[in-house]
Amino acid sequence: MSTPALTAWIDGIGLIAPGLPDWPSAAAVLRGEQPYVAAPSVLPAPAWLPPAERRRASRIVKLVLALGIEACQAGGVDPATLASVFSSSGADGHNCHALCEQLATDDRQISPTRFHNSVHNAAAGYWSIAAKAMTPCQVLSAYDASFGAGLLDALAQVQVEQRPVLLIAYDSEYPPPLFSKRPIPDCAGIALALAPAPGARSLARVSLQLVDQVADVLADAALETLRLSIPAMRSLPLLQALAQRRDATTRIDYLPPLHMAIDCAAC
């Protein structure tokens, strides 16, 4: 089974994951030039936010802003002009934990900051403030298939609307005891600046179809563990092809029994 292909050009990439602090570092690892060494994710300060919002920024907000900024700067695009798609399996695990802790006490008064950070689209709101973006925005969740769902939505917008779109797929860890039910080890994410036509900085053309073939497995055992442990990192087979600047078809996880076949042609 296959479906008509959705096509776009990737102009810029942002990446933060355990042991992979940015896209250039990750690309070197995915090309085999550097060994993968696991380490806690490093989250830059949210410099684009006004001081009041900066003080309230959670780990997930810092992650999303860093991803979007890296992808936009690499692609040479103005973030204020991009439609956006935000996709996460669960959004802010630490804030969810803090709310559950508070509600389990006799004092159930929730702080305003905790409350406004509790919604699934909080990170998208902070991005719109930081980037001064008043463009259309979609916020999605599809559990372990969240990266694929976000990519499908973003590519559909690029092709149908013929406009550039910024995709940011991200996840956050949950502290104990929630960690025992959702064992995501750290926060991580990927951003793709997508365009309907090739540009001066385009890295590759990608075409996506839904198929009933199995997803690719990474040869490096540590990277494969990372791919399986954080939903946003289901993107790693595609990222490896992009890092190696080669023409390839990669297959990534989507909603069972479907997977995504992505034809990647380097520019």
3-class SS string, 214-263 = CCCCCCCHHHHHHHHHCHHHHHHHHHHHHHCCCCEEEEEECCCCCEEEEE
Place of tokens 């497995």: 217
- Sign of torsion over alpha carbons 124, 199, 159, 146: negative
Q: What is the pLDDT of residues 1-51, one digit of tens each?
A: 556 799 999 999 999 999 999 999 999 999 999 999 999 999 998 888 888
Structural contact between residues 150 and 167, judged by C-beta atoms closer than 8 angstroms: yes
Question: Comparing 183 with 114, which gets the higher pLDDT?
Answer: 183
Structural contact between residues 62 and 41, judged by C-beta atoms closer than 8 angstroms: no
Position 208 scores a pLDDT of 97
Which architecture characterizes domain 9-201 according to CATH? 3-Layer(aba) Sandwich (3.40)
Characterise 19 by phi-psi region: left (phi > 0), alpha (psi -120 to 50), beta (else).
left
68 secondary structure, DSSP code: H
Give percent of the chain with pLDDT exceeding 90: 79
Position 160 scores a pLDDT of 95
Position 102 scores a pLDDT of 87
Question: Comparing 149 with 91, which gets the higher pLDDT?
Answer: 149
210: β partners: 260
Q: What is the pLDDT of residues 249-262, one digit of tens each?
A: 999 999 999 999 99
Check pLDDT > 90 for residue 118: no
Structural contact between residues 236 and 15, judged by C-beta atoms closer than 8 angstroms: no
Identity of the residue numbered 28: A
Structural contact between residues 150 and 169, judged by C-beta atoms closer than 8 angstroms: yes
Q: Tell me the domain boundaries of the chain.
A: 9-201
Distances in Å between the alpha carbon of 125 and those of 33, 61, 133, 243? 38, 9, 10, 30
> Across residues 133-147, what is the average pLDDT?
96
Identity of the residue numbered 4: P
Position 2 scores a pLDDT of 55
Check pLDDT > 90 for residue 95: no
Question: Comparing 58 with 171, which gets the higher pLDDT?
Answer: 171
Characterise 2 by phi-psi region: left (phi > 0), alpha (psi -120 to 50), beta (else).
beta
Position 116 scores a pLDDT of 75
> Across residues 173-197, what is the average pLDDT?
95
Distances in Å between the alpha carbon of 97 and those of 43, 87, 140, 232? 20, 20, 21, 20
